[in-house]
Amino acid sequence: MAVSRSGKDESWSGRAAFILAAVGSAVGIGNLVRFPYVAGESGGGLFVIAYLLAVFAIGLPVLMAELFIGRRGGGTPIAAIVRLAKADGASPAWGIMGWIGMLASFGIVTFYSVIAGWLLYYAWVMVGDIAGNIGASGLAGLAAPAFASVGDSTEITGIFGELLSNPGKMILFHGIFIAVSTIIVTRGVKGGIEKAATWLMPVFFFLLVALAVISLTVGDAGAALAFLFQPDFQALARDIADGSILVNAVGQAFFSLSLGSVLMLTYGIYLSRETSIPGAATTVAFADTGVAMIAGLAVFPVVFQFGLEPAGGLGLIFGPLLLAFNQMPFGALFGLAFFIMAVFAALTSAISLFEVPAAWAKGDITLDEATRNKRRLIGTILIGLAIFVIGVFHALSQVPVEAGDNFFNTWQPFGTLPVIGDRTLLDAIDGLTGNVLLPLGGFLAAVFAGYVVTQSASREELGFKQEKHYQRWRFLIRYVCPAVVGLILVYGIAIAPFLN
Ligand code: PFF
């Protein structure tokens, strides 16, 4: 049965605007810090092949599914699912999928914003550094490396520890970041999210490519390319044997494409019928994967050039990368460009995560437009405040620990929570969203699109030009995606809590 939607929703101004916003959501901290390192450590070129498979065989079909569920259902992310379920004679209890996704989006944005605050702080530190250099030696100061006046390398990486032990600073920069995000989201889909993406993403791409070109030119391109792409059969075999390839490739593809959080479903609500979902989704997947690889080329050549060891996660940015900036000419300028780029990537992702609860607060299309607009405005401000407050808890739980992935493991105001062992609030939310909620949301989305929505409905929404392409999508979404994502879920619930 076709679903009729009454009421008007705001919509993207066109295909290009939607693609920019969706790429803005997909490209984020995940691409800059996680993919390049995991690729280097888990099999190089072989991992890249596994990742491409994960993106195109698992991520892309789910991305198409989320987009068409949102577009066909309309209203809020939850109402869209319930409406489609009812239309196809299924239980409205499917709405739980929307709640799970919304909880995941909200949970992620609370810590995403704190980390974005750190990046913003470093952009600020670089501005101060450059100003100091110019003050000391005029325009020639622009050529100085970053932190030229700071003594040795432990002092430079120690700046991060200082930040982590200073909740006031962290709260300030998290506060600035979330305030800007809130302002953007209150302005709505066209005037806020779309406008932000159209301004920020081109600058992001320009900086990314420029940094990669410079890094490849002045750095050790050979070592970086070997690290990223040289096939390493042994590493791949190890990761297949212990199952971590699943999380590394498929889990990363999910996080990177912003799936399982009903975020892309929400972006689908604003998508016009004229835009072809398969085409747009494929563009988003290519752009996101391309950015992840170029990010590796922007980071590793300079890291290897100065004989530094790559590190995982954020440890890379606040460790070896800072030391590289410290040793290269024009390092402060390079560093400033890097942090501005990272903040822009984080901002377009944070506003997309924020949009999910904001769209829910707006209410369904059964309400009149004036009420919905009012609800959206008030709801967005309240959600922004809630993100800020929870972020303050995250900031308060920071105590510097040695460089590595886990910066959040000392302050434990909530004692020991059963599922999450001895983790803090931030670790708990990170683990719960990444290991449980996102895979669960993705699993449900695949099952919903493959089994609940009728074949004629999904065929019509996706509008593949050739039937065989539709059949391929249907095969992947019915059998391959639920099986693989289901495995990740089991891994996330049963095995991951016992690691580390
Ligand atoms: N895709 C973004 C990144 O790679 O950083 C952020 C993100 C958005 C993660 C939405 C997860 C998510 F559900």
Residues 221-245: b if buried by 16+ CB within 10 A, e if exposed? bebbbbbbbeebeebbeebeeeebb
Span 83-108, average pLDDT = 97
Q: What are the residues whose beta carbons fall under 8 Å from the beta carbon of 30, sequence distance 6 or more?
A: 252, 255, 256
What DSSP string runs through 390-436?
Answer: HHHHHHHT----SSSS----S--TT--BTTTBT--HHHHHHHIIIII
Residue whose Cα lies nearest atom 13 of ligand 1: it is 258
On average, the pLDDT of the chain sits at 90
The pLDDT of residue 392: 87
Residue 366 predicted with pLDDT over 70: yes
| Spatial distance between the Cα atoms of 177 and 179, rounded to a whole number of angstroms | 5
Give whichever of 178-187, 226-235, 315-324 has the largest mean pLDDT: 178-187
261 pocket-lining for ligand 1 (C-beta < 6 Å): yes
Between 48 and 409, residue with greater pLDDT: 48
Q: Crossing angle for the helix pair 369-396 and 96-137, nearest 10 degrees?
A: 60
Q: And the tokens for 199?
A: 């301004």
Contact by Cβ (8 Å): 67, 268 = yes
Running DSSP on this structure, what letter comes out for residue 4?
A: P
Residue whose Cα lies nearest atom 12 of ligand 1: it is 258
- Kindly report, residue by residue over 345-363, the tens digit of the pLDDT: 999 999 999 999 999 999 9
30 pocket-lining for ligand 1 (C-beta < 6 Å): yes
291 pocket-lining for ligand 1 (C-beta < 6 Å): no
Please name the residue that has the structure tokens 């708990």. 428
Contact by Cβ (8 Å): 104, 437 = yes
The pLDDT of residue 37: 85
pTM for the model stands at 0.93
| Spatial distance between the Cα atoms of 302 and 310, rounded to a whole number of angstroms | 10
108 pocket-lining for ligand 1 (C-beta < 6 Å): yes
The pLDDT of residue 496: 61
Q: In Å, how far are 125, 162, 368 from 167, measured between CA atoms?
A: 17, 10, 43
251 pocket-lining for ligand 1 (C-beta < 6 Å): no
- Kindly report, residue by residue over 137-152, the tens digit of the pLDDT: 999 899 999 998 887 8
Contact by Cβ (8 Å): 60, 281 = yes
Which is the closest atom of ligand 1 to the Cα of 31?
4
| Spatial distance between the Cα atoms of 371 and 413, rounded to a whole number of angstroms | 39
Residue 201 predicted with pLDDT over 70: yes
Span 391-408, average pLDDT = 60
Domain limits of the chain? 15-498
The pLDDT of residue 348: 98
The pLDDT of residue 65: 98
Span 47-70, average pLDDT = 97
User: Model confidence at 403, in pLDDT bands (50, 70, 90)?
Assistant: very low
Ligand 1: centre distance to CA 30 (Å):
7
Choose among 460, 484, 485: nearest CA to 470. Answer: 460
Between 363 and 498, residue with greater pLDDT: 363
Give this complex's ipTM. 0.97
Which phi and psi angles does 421 have, rounded to 5°? 60, -130
85, with CB counted inside 10 A (0-12, 13-18, 19+), is: buried
Residues 433-452: b if buried by 16+ CB within 10 A, e if exposed? bbbbbbbbbbbbbbbbbbeb
Q: In Å, how far are 18, 317, 318, 390, 497 from 410, measured between CA atoms?
A: 41, 22, 19, 17, 18
128, with CB counted inside 10 A (0-12, 13-18, 19+), is: exposed
Contact by Cβ (8 Å): 79, 7 = no
At 9, which helix (H) or strand (E)? none
Running DSSP on this structure, what letter comes out for residue 248?
A: I
In this prediction, what percent of the chain has a pLDDT beyond 90?
75
- Kindly report, residue by residue over 313-323, the tens digit of the pLDDT: 788 888 899 99
Choose among 121, 408, 101: nearest CA to 266. Answer: 101
The pLDDT of residue 432: 85
Ligand 1: centre distance to CA 289 (Å):
13
Q: In Å, how far are 6, 49, 220, 291, 310 from 231, measured between CA atoms?
A: 54, 10, 19, 20, 18
Residue 283 predicted with pLDDT over 60: yes
258 pocket-lining for ligand 1 (C-beta < 6 Å): yes
Count of other CB atoms within 10 angstroms of residue 347: 24
Cα of 257 vs its chain's centroid, Å = 7
Choose among 19, 500, 15, 487: nearest CA to 254. Answer: 487
- Kindly report, residue by residue over 251-271, the tens digit of the pLDDT: 899 999 999 999 999 999 999
Residue whose Cα lies nearest atom 8 of ligand 1: it is 258
Q: What are the residues whose beta carbons fall under 8 Å from the beta carbon of 14, sequence distance 6 or more?
A: 272, 275
Residue 402 predicted with pLDDT over 60: no
Residues 291-326: b if buried by 16+ CB within 10 A, e if exposed? bbbbbbbbbbbbbbbeebebbbbbbbbbbbbbbbbb
What DSSP string runs through 180-224?
Answer: HHHHHHHTHIIIIIIHHHHHHHHHHHHHHHHHHHHHHHHS-HHHH
User: Model confidence at 484, in pLDDT bands (50, 70, 90)?
Assistant: very high
Ligand 1: centre distance to CA 22 (Å):
11
The pLDDT of residue 349: 98
- Kindly report, residue by residue over 417-474, the tens digit of the pLDDT: 333 445 567 777 888 888 899 999 999 999 999 999 999 999 999 999 999 999 999 9
Ligand 1: centre distance to CA 276 (Å):
23
Q: Which CATH number does the domain 15-498 belong to among 3.40.50, 3.40.640, 1.20.1740, 1.25.40?
A: 1.20.1740
